[in-house]
């Protein structure tokens, strides 16, 4: 009955909120897992996990406005996403809910885990940080970042060909195989340009390090060392998560950012292990 009610809500949610910030697709049956993709990704990135976990769990796969085929919303993009995610978690209304987030989705998972009135059993963060902006701009007050700046202006002014050329090196650094690099690139090319440029500013300003102090549920962090090396990656995680009282940390020694592409078997095994200990 609960599953039918949830599915009914999804249909109603999608029908009545065509220009909203998130859309969720539900697959499988069992205890719920909310899957939050990273910035500029669609829920398609979870395909390597779907077959394994839809057999035993009810998967809630979230897409964000402006990414893929979903209509964009007005800025601030991330504030709208956060507000709607809170409401969505409330509709799931299940104390067995597990949230799994990749990259920005991991940041959102940590933020949701810090909210006192939400039913969440535990969270799994896949190569995500509580403050990506602080890593990129360590000596900058993130609150001072604005949409109007020379870099954003340049990105907004590019034609499609120049934009594709600009993002190619970044996409190439996020996964090992060319087919996956191309999938990441295509996801970026399919985003609404304004959402990609200004929405990323929202993401850089999103700092949940203080919120970590409020988390009192189990947290598992799965890092990837393939981009920067294991020592640097480990130190980054320790520094960024120093406010989190307790967590389980595992590092993939050579995967790049998209672990679900580079080593889905390893990732699935880690998630299975976490779910076994629920």
**Which pLDDT band holds residue 181 (cuts at 50, 70, 90)?**
very high
Q: What was the pLDDT predicted at 7? A: 52
Is residue 248 a contact partner of residue 220, using CB atoms and an 8 Å limit? yes
Whether the Cβ atoms of residue 128 and residue 45 lie closer than 8 Å to each other: no
- How buried is residue 118: exposed, middle or buried, by Cβ count under 10 Å (0-12/13-18/19+)? middle
What per-residue confidence (pLDDT) applies to 158? 98
Longest dimension (CA), the chain: 53
Q: Which CATH architecture has domain 2-276?
A: 3-Layer(aba) Sandwich (3.40)
Domain boundary assignment for the chain: 2-276
Between CA 264 and CA 134 the distance in angstroms is 29
For the chain, the average pLDDT equals 93
Is the confidence at residue 11, as pLDDT, over 50? no
Confidence of residue 69 (pLDDT cuts 50, 70, 90): confident
Mean pLDDT in residue range 207-225:
97
* Choice between 139 and 12, residue whose per-residue pLDDT is larger: 139
Spatial distance between the Cα atoms of 35 and 54, rounded to a whole number of angstroms: 12
Neighbouring residues of 243: CB distance < 8 A, sequence distance ≥ 6: 209, 210, 212, 213
The mean pLDDT value for 160-183 works out to 97
Residue 59 — very low, low, confident or very high, per pLDDT cuts 50/70/90? very high
Tell me the pLDDT tens digit for each residue of 80-114.
Answer: 999 999 999 999 999 999 999 999 999 999 999 99
Q: Before 218, cis peptide (omega within 30)?
A: no
Per-residue pLDDT of 141-160, as tens digits, reads 999 999 999 999 999 999 99
When pLDDT is cut at 50, 70 and 90, the band that residue 277 belongs to is low
Beta bridge partners of 32: 58
Q: Helix 77-92 crosses helix 2-16 at what angle (to 10 degrees)?
A: 150
List 124's β-bridge partners, or say none.
Answer: 100, 220
Distance CA 14, CA 112 (A): 22
Could you tell me which residue, 194 or 227, shows the higher pLDDT?
194
């Amino acid at each position: 009955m609960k599953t039918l009610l949830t599915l009914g809500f999804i249909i109603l949610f999608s029908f009545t909120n065509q220009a909203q910030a998130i859309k969720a697709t539900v697959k499988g049956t069992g205890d719920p897992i909310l899957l939050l993709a990273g910035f500029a990704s669609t829920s398609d990135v979870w395909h390597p996990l779907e077959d394994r976990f839809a057999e035993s769990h009810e998967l809630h796969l979230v897409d964000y406005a402006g990414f893929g085929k979903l209509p964009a919303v007005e800025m601030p993009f991330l504030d709208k996403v956060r507000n709607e995610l809170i409401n969505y978690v409330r509709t799931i209304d299940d104390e067995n809910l597990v949230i799994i987030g990749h990259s920005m989705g991991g940041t959102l998972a940590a933020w949701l885990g810090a909210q006192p009135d939400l039913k969440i059993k535990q969270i799994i963060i896949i190569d995500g940080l509580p403050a990506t902006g602080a890593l990129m701009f360590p000596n900058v007050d993130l609150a001072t970042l604005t949409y109007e700046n020379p870099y954003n202006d340049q990105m907004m002014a590019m034609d499609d060909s120049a934009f594709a050329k600009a993002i190619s090196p970044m996409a190439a650094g996020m996964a090992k195989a060319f087919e996956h690099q191309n999938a990441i690139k295509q996801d970026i090319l399919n985003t609404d340009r304004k959402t990609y440029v200004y929405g990323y500013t929202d993401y850089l300003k999103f700092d949940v390090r203080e919120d970590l102090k409020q988390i009192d549920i189990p947290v598992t962090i799965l890092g990837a060392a393939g981009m920067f090396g294991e020592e640097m990656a480990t130190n980054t995680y320790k520094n960024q998560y120093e406010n989190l009282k307790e967590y389980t940390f595992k590092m993939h020694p050579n995967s790049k950012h998209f672990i679900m592409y580079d080593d889905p078997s390893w990732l699935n095994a880690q998630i299975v292990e976490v779910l076994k200990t629920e």
